[in-house]
Structure formats: structure tokens, C-alpha cells
Amino acid sequence: MLMTKAYQFTGVLVALTCFSVSFADDSVQLIDPNKSNDSQAEEVDPLLTLVDKAIDTTSKRYLTAGRHTPWQIMHGILALRDRFEVRMDGKKTSALKWIQDVPNFRGKPLVLKTNTGGQFHPYTQPYDFQGHPCQFLAILTMSQLPMDFEFRTENGKLTLADVVETAKANINDQEEITWALWALSHFVGPDADWTNKNGEAWSVERLVKLQIEDEPTEAACGGTHGLFALAYARNGYIHTERPLRGVWLEADMKIRRYVEMAKSLQNSDGSFSSNHFGGPGYTQDFSDRLAAAGHTMEFLMMALPQPKLNEDWVRRGVEQVANDLIENRNVPVKCGPLYHGLHGLVIYKERMQPVNVTLDSNIEPAETDVAETTEPVEAETVTEELPEEEPAEEVVADDASEEAETDEVAERPAETTEEPVQRTAEKISDQAEL
């Protein structure tokens, strides 16, 4: 049976209410997100201008459907959501529209019908489809799609609700649950419980407990994805306006601990440790530096309460990632680090400037600039079947990624010194005081 109602929020934005809830010093304040902020409109923070420039510049690294993989394109959707465009047949098109229209890659469909609904194609080889159970479903939470959002498959239409139902049916404790926690805490809410296809009782709280037990230093990307998912779920619980108790209090305590660890391991230039939470570390390599600092900042943007975003260490971390993206805009970089770092900046901008502001800009995207690859994968259309033994290659030589996926570089943006367009911001409210 398909769900008729979903609890949808971007970290802490709940679609079922028109108010945001601010938790600071244990007080509750209702904030009208439609109310203008005159003081904010009068004075623009230079850091926000820098962040805008980094977002705009990085958004010009276009990917090409058929040449770049679904895994790479979905990472672009994570960061830029409905604003992310891909090249297809020489034209730019909405990436969200692309995933609706029966995309095939290497002869395999992106979305499949199942006995319980539908699902994104499971892992086949590095960098093709999702590398973790429910990864693509979790990524789509940030786009705030309705539950009747449709995918057209070779066997008929599916909805997002169908994919959620299969995620619930397939959940188990033998596979990684990080992305399932992120996705299901969004779509079914923090109080949800259900029975999987094997007759086992499951709940969002059980997923939270499993994620609390996970050791970040042994997980993909230094554990930042698991911590992000835990913060995302906790923020949803905060919106129930109940005190943090039990597993939710344990989740909050773990989030606080790793926030402090990120702060203590921060480098003098503002970058976060290249060893994530495993100890101090710094690297001269742009891609590796972005992989660590960007992922850590992404977690912090979901975990920190609003007042903390103005603290110097946080601002220096945001500034470092923004500057790195701008200064290295013509340097080949893997899509995972690129878009997770960009996602952190997008969340920061949404939280710090939740009003619609558009600035004039003459920036034009690169028209024909194509990133060189060691062994480029050529494809005329998104549905062309490519041999399985030739996965997408990276420009930059890479050891085994922590996510065990191989990535091809995004295309480079054009050189520019113009001011970027500020994006439409989506309100993300305050979170539990740390």
C-alpha cells in the first residue's frame, strides 16, 4: 500500500507547517518564513558574496548525460537540486527531468519496478549507479519533491512513493543503513514504524540507534555521511517540539561530540582535517582537500544551530571551501568531493540568507569546454549501451575512494571575474543549541 502522507523536510524544514521552530536556550520561537528581513536586505555579508560566487562558478561544471554516470549526475542534483542541468544531445536540460525520462546507462535502467513498488538500480560497478542502499532516494530529499513525482520506466510509471515503499520493504541490518535513515526520516517522519518484506519490525528510531553505533572512522568519507544522516533525522525529531530523550538524546550527544572534534582538528587556514575525524591532517592536493573539508563542512551545516554559524571557526571553514572552489575552478576534480562540498555551501547560503534576492550578473557558462579524461567514455545519447568493462575513468589518479566508487571529472567553468547570480534560498530553521 502506498503512503498518502509524507513528512518532508530539508534537514529541519517541515512541509506540513508554515512555521519554522527555533530552539535556542531551550526556548521555542515561531518564525514566519515569509516575513522579510529588512536588516539582512540592507547589508550583505562579504562571506555570502563569496559563497554565491563559489556556487555560481561551480555550477558551470556541466556533466553530460551518457558520458557521465547516473552516480555523478545524482551528486550534482544533491548540491543544486532543481537548478542542476546536464548536457544531452548538445543541449542543457533539467537533471530532475532527465531522471524521469527512462534514462539507461550501459543498457541498464536507472529506475526499476519491483514487487513492492520501485527502486533505483542497485550497485553494479564503481561509479555507475548508487553505491549504497537508498543513496539516490536520500539525495532526492534535498529537492523537496512531492510523493507523486513520477519516473517513466520501461514497464510503466512509478512514483516517489513507490520507491519509498520498496526502501521500507528492503531495509535490513546486514547492509549499510546510513542513506536509508536519511531518506526514510524525511519521507515517513521520525515516529514511523513498519514491517519489512521478511516480517521484521523496523522504525526510524531503530535506524537512528544503528547509526549511533556506527564508528565514523571506519565508514565511507570519514563517517561524514552517517553523521549528516543522523543530524538530518535529529532535526526532524526536533520539529515535533518534544524534548530530546532516549535514542534521540543519544543521537544529539554524538552529533555534538563530532562537531567539537571537527573544530579541534581544523587547520590554521580554515580547512578541516584531511583525516576527517581520525586525527590532524592537511594535504596540498585540491581534490583530496576538498573531499575532506567539503564533506565535513556539509555535516556541520546540517548539525549546527543557527547562532553557531556566525562563529569564527565556522566562517573560516566555509570561506576556505568557497575559495578553494573558486581558485581551482579550472582544475579537474572528482564529482563526489565537488558536489558534497558545494552542497555544504548551498545549505549555508539557505540558512544564512533565507530570502529571495537576485543580483544582476553577466556570467555566461562555458559553451563547449569539455574536461579531458584519461580514457573518455563516448556516447551520443543517454540510452546508448556501453561495454561493462569500460567504467568511467577519472582525470586525476585516485587510490581507492572511501566510497569505493570511481569518478570522472566534471567539466570546467569558464574563467570569470564577474559577480555571480545569487540563488533562491530555501528557509532552514534553527536547530538544537549545542
Over residues 151-163, mean pLDDT: 89
pLDDT digits (tens, 9 = 90+) for 387-410: 333 333 432 222 223 333 334 455
Over residues 76-104, mean pLDDT: 89
pLDDT number for residue 410: 57
pLDDT number for residue 124: 75
Helix, strand or coil for residue 113?
strand
Residue 114 has pLDDT above 60, yes or no: yes
Tell me: domain 43-352, CATH 1.50.10, correct? yes
pLDDT number for residue 155: 82
Q: How confident is the model at residue 355 (pLDDT cuts 50, 70, 90)?
A: low
Among 143, 149, 114, 109, CA closest to 129:
109
pLDDT digits (tens, 9 = 90+) for 36-63: 444 444 688 999 999 999 999 999 999 9
Tell me the domain boundaries of the chain: 43-352
Determine how β-strand 193-195 pairs with β-strand 150-153. unpaired
Does residue 133 contact residue 180 with C-beta atoms inside 8 Å? yes
Q: Please name the residue that has the C-alpha cell 584531511.
A: 274
pLDDT digits (tens, 9 = 90+) for 119-132: 888 877 777 888 88
Q: How confident is the model at residue 10 (pLDDT cuts 50, 70, 90)?
A: very low
Q: Please name the residue that has the C-alpha cell 579550472.
A: 330
Determine how β-strand 20-24 pairs with β-strand 27-31. antiparallel
| Secondary structure (DSSP) of 100-141 | HB--EETTEESEEEETTEEEE----STTSS-SSTTHHHHHHG
Task: Kindly provide the residue ranges of all beta strands, DSSP E only, lying in 39-110, ordered along the sequence.
Answer: 63-64, 85-88, 91-94, 104-105, 108-109
Q: How confident is the model at residue 427 (pLDDT cuts 50, 70, 90)?
A: very low
- Where helices occur in 106-197 by DSSP H, the ranges are 135-140, 160-170, 178-187
C-alpha to C-alpha distance for 91 and 98, rounded to whole angstroms: 12
What values do phi and psi take at 232, rounded to 5?
-60, -45
Other Cβ atoms closer than 10 A to 15: 13
